[in-house]
Amino acid sequence: MSAFFDYLRNITYFLLFAALVGFIAPTGKYRKFVSLVMGFILLVMLLQPIRHFTGGDIPVNQWFAGILPEAADTSTTYHTWRDTHLAAAFEAQLSIQIEGLLARNNITVHGASFTYSQDFGHITSVRVGVSRQEEPRRVPFIRIEPVQINRDTPQEDPLVNEVKNLISGFYNLPDTHIYVEIVGT
Protein backbone atom coordinates (compact mmCIF):
# COMPACT_ATOMS: atom_id res chain seq x y z
CA MET A 1 0.00 0.00 0.00
CA SER A 2 2.96 2.25 0.65
CA ALA A 3 4.07 1.90 -2.99
CA PHE A 4 0.64 3.14 -4.14
CA PHE A 5 0.87 6.25 -1.93
CA ASP A 6 4.43 6.89 -3.17
CA TYR A 7 3.10 6.66 -6.70
CA LEU A 8 0.32 9.20 -5.99
CA ARG A 9 2.72 11.51 -4.14
CA ASN A 10 5.16 11.48 -7.11
CA ILE A 11 2.35 12.33 -9.55
CA THR A 12 1.13 15.14 -7.26
CA TYR A 13 4.62 16.61 -6.99
CA PHE A 14 5.04 16.43 -10.73
CA LEU A 15 1.70 18.16 -11.34
CA LEU A 16 2.71 20.96 -8.96
CA PHE A 17 6.04 21.26 -10.75
CA ALA A 18 4.29 21.30 -14.15
CA ALA A 19 1.93 24.06 -12.96
CA LEU A 20 4.90 26.13 -11.73
CA VAL A 21 6.68 25.69 -15.08
CA GLY A 22 3.43 26.67 -16.83
CA PHE A 23 3.35 29.95 -14.91
CA ILE A 24 7.00 30.69 -15.59
CA ALA A 25 6.94 29.74 -19.30
CA PRO A 26 6.46 32.64 -21.71
CA THR A 27 3.24 32.95 -23.65
CA GLY A 28 2.74 31.77 -27.19
CA LYS A 29 4.33 28.84 -28.94
CA TYR A 30 6.78 28.07 -26.09
CA ARG A 31 3.93 27.48 -23.63
CA LYS A 32 2.47 24.90 -26.01
CA PHE A 33 5.85 23.15 -26.30
CA VAL A 34 6.32 23.08 -22.50
CA SER A 35 2.79 21.74 -22.11
CA LEU A 36 3.46 18.99 -24.65
CA VAL A 37 6.71 17.90 -22.94
CA MET A 38 5.06 17.90 -19.50
CA GLY A 39 2.20 15.86 -20.90
CA PHE A 40 4.58 13.19 -22.25
CA ILE A 41 6.39 12.99 -18.91
CA LEU A 42 3.05 12.65 -17.07
CA LEU A 43 1.99 9.89 -19.48
CA VAL A 44 5.20 7.94 -18.78
CA MET A 45 4.67 8.36 -15.04
CA LEU A 46 1.07 7.14 -15.29
CA LEU A 47 2.07 4.06 -17.30
CA GLN A 48 4.82 3.09 -14.85
CA PRO A 49 2.61 0.74 -12.69
CA ILE A 50 1.20 -0.95 -15.79
CA ARG A 51 4.71 -1.66 -16.99
CA HIS A 52 5.62 -3.19 -13.62
CA PHE A 53 2.35 -5.14 -13.47
CA THR A 54 2.91 -6.78 -16.88
CA GLY A 55 6.48 -7.69 -15.94
CA GLY A 56 7.89 -5.48 -18.66
CA ASP A 57 10.76 -3.96 -16.71
CA ILE A 58 12.45 -3.01 -19.93
CA PRO A 59 14.90 -0.12 -19.84
CA VAL A 60 13.69 3.08 -21.50
CA ASN A 61 16.32 2.87 -24.26
CA GLN A 62 14.78 -0.45 -25.42
CA TRP A 63 11.13 0.69 -25.53
CA PHE A 64 11.28 1.36 -29.26
CA ALA A 65 13.75 -1.40 -30.16
CA GLY A 66 11.34 -3.15 -32.51
CA ILE A 67 10.31 0.03 -34.27
CA LEU A 68 13.63 1.79 -34.86
CA PRO A 69 16.34 0.18 -37.00
CA GLU A 70 19.44 -1.01 -35.17
CA ALA A 71 22.45 1.25 -35.54
CA ALA A 72 25.69 -0.32 -36.68
CA ASP A 73 28.44 -0.68 -34.10
CA THR A 74 30.86 2.07 -35.04
CA SER A 75 33.11 1.90 -32.00
CA THR A 76 35.73 -0.37 -33.59
CA THR A 77 35.77 1.72 -36.75
CA TYR A 78 36.21 4.87 -34.70
CA HIS A 79 39.02 3.38 -32.59
CA THR A 80 40.86 2.19 -35.70
CA TRP A 81 40.47 5.61 -37.33
CA ARG A 82 41.58 7.40 -34.14
CA ASP A 83 44.64 5.18 -33.66
CA THR A 84 45.67 5.59 -37.30
CA HIS A 85 45.44 9.38 -37.16
CA LEU A 86 47.13 9.59 -33.77
CA ALA A 87 50.01 7.45 -35.06
CA ALA A 88 50.37 9.61 -38.17
CA ALA A 89 50.37 12.80 -36.09
CA PHE A 90 52.87 11.31 -33.61
CA GLU A 91 55.23 10.23 -36.41
CA ALA A 92 54.94 13.64 -38.09
CA GLN A 93 55.83 15.35 -34.83
CA LEU A 94 58.81 13.04 -34.29
CA SER A 95 60.03 13.68 -37.85
CA ILE A 96 59.86 17.44 -37.30
CA GLN A 97 61.78 17.08 -34.04
CA ILE A 98 64.51 14.93 -35.60
CA GLU A 99 64.89 17.26 -38.60
CA GLY A 100 65.14 20.32 -36.35
CA LEU A 101 67.59 18.66 -33.97
CA LEU A 102 69.91 17.52 -36.73
CA ALA A 103 69.55 20.69 -38.85
CA ARG A 104 71.04 22.69 -35.98
CA ASN A 105 74.16 20.56 -36.40
CA ASN A 106 74.35 20.86 -40.22
CA ILE A 107 72.95 17.37 -40.85
CA THR A 108 70.26 16.74 -43.44
CA VAL A 109 67.62 14.06 -42.77
CA HIS A 110 66.61 11.94 -45.78
CA GLY A 111 63.99 9.87 -44.03
CA ALA A 112 63.15 8.68 -40.55
CA SER A 113 61.04 5.87 -39.17
CA PHE A 114 60.15 5.10 -35.59
CA THR A 115 58.85 2.28 -33.47
CA TYR A 116 57.05 3.22 -30.29
CA SER A 117 54.73 1.86 -27.64
CA GLN A 118 51.07 1.39 -28.45
CA ASP A 119 50.03 4.18 -26.09
CA PHE A 120 52.62 6.56 -27.66
CA GLY A 121 54.31 6.74 -24.26
CA HIS A 122 57.89 6.13 -25.35
CA ILE A 123 59.98 5.51 -28.46
CA THR A 124 61.63 2.10 -28.74
CA SER A 125 63.83 2.65 -31.80
CA VAL A 126 64.72 5.20 -34.46
CA ARG A 127 65.92 4.52 -38.02
CA VAL A 128 67.20 7.58 -39.87
CA GLY A 129 68.98 8.35 -43.15
CA VAL A 130 71.32 11.35 -42.97
CA SER A 131 73.98 13.28 -44.84
CA ARG A 132 76.21 16.18 -43.91
CA GLN A 133 75.08 19.53 -45.26
CA GLU A 134 77.60 21.10 -47.57
CA GLU A 135 79.35 23.95 -45.91
CA PRO A 136 80.05 27.11 -47.88
CA ARG A 137 83.29 27.10 -49.81
CA ARG A 138 86.13 28.65 -47.88
CA VAL A 139 89.59 29.68 -48.86
CA PRO A 140 91.65 26.53 -48.58
CA PHE A 141 94.09 26.34 -45.74
CA ILE A 142 96.55 23.50 -45.75
CA ARG A 143 96.93 21.72 -42.50
CA ILE A 144 98.57 18.39 -42.13
CA GLU A 145 97.78 16.26 -39.13
CA PRO A 146 99.35 12.93 -38.31
CA VAL A 147 97.00 10.02 -38.92
CA GLN A 148 97.01 6.89 -36.84
CA ILE A 149 95.50 3.89 -38.54
CA ASN A 150 94.06 1.17 -36.37
CA ARG A 151 93.18 -1.83 -38.49
CA ASP A 152 91.98 -4.05 -35.65
CA THR A 153 88.50 -2.57 -35.14
CA PRO A 154 86.29 -1.14 -37.86
CA GLN A 155 85.73 2.58 -37.35
CA GLU A 156 82.25 4.06 -37.57
CA ASP A 157 81.82 7.24 -39.48
CA PRO A 158 81.96 10.27 -37.14
CA LEU A 159 78.63 11.41 -38.57
CA VAL A 160 76.98 8.19 -37.35
CA ASN A 161 78.38 8.71 -33.85
CA GLU A 162 77.28 12.34 -33.84
CA VAL A 163 73.72 11.47 -34.92
CA LYS A 164 73.48 8.66 -32.36
CA ASN A 165 74.69 10.97 -29.59
CA LEU A 166 72.24 13.72 -30.54
CA ILE A 167 69.21 11.42 -30.80
CA SER A 168 70.03 9.36 -27.71
CA GLY A 169 70.49 12.52 -25.66
CA PHE A 170 67.27 14.09 -26.93
CA TYR A 171 64.98 11.05 -26.56
CA ASN A 172 66.84 9.29 -23.69
CA LEU A 173 67.15 6.23 -25.92
CA PRO A 174 70.10 3.80 -25.88
CA ASP A 175 72.29 4.21 -28.96
CA THR A 176 71.91 0.49 -29.69
CA HIS A 177 68.29 1.29 -30.66
CA ILE A 178 69.28 4.00 -33.10
CA TYR A 179 70.08 2.95 -36.66
CA VAL A 180 71.81 5.50 -38.87
CA GLU A 181 72.37 5.18 -42.60
CA ILE A 182 74.55 7.70 -44.40
CA VAL A 183 72.97 8.72 -47.67
CA GLY A 184 75.32 9.77 -50.48
CA THR A 185 74.76 13.20 -51.92
pLDDT digits (tens, 9 = 90+) for 85-143: 888 888 888 888 888 888 888 888 888 888 888 777 778 888 888 888 766 555 556 66
Which helix (H) or strand (E) segment holds residue 114: the answer is strand 107-116
Q: What strand order describes the sheet that includes 178-182? A: 107-116, 123-132, 178-182
Q: What's the whole-number mean pLDDT along residues 46-62?
A: 67
Decide which of 68 and 179 is more confident.
Answer: 179
Checking 148-157 for CB contacts under 8 A at 24+ apart, the result is 157/182
| Secondary structure of residue 21 in the 3-state scheme | helix
Please give the pLDDT value at position 181: 86
Please give the pLDDT value at position 135: 61
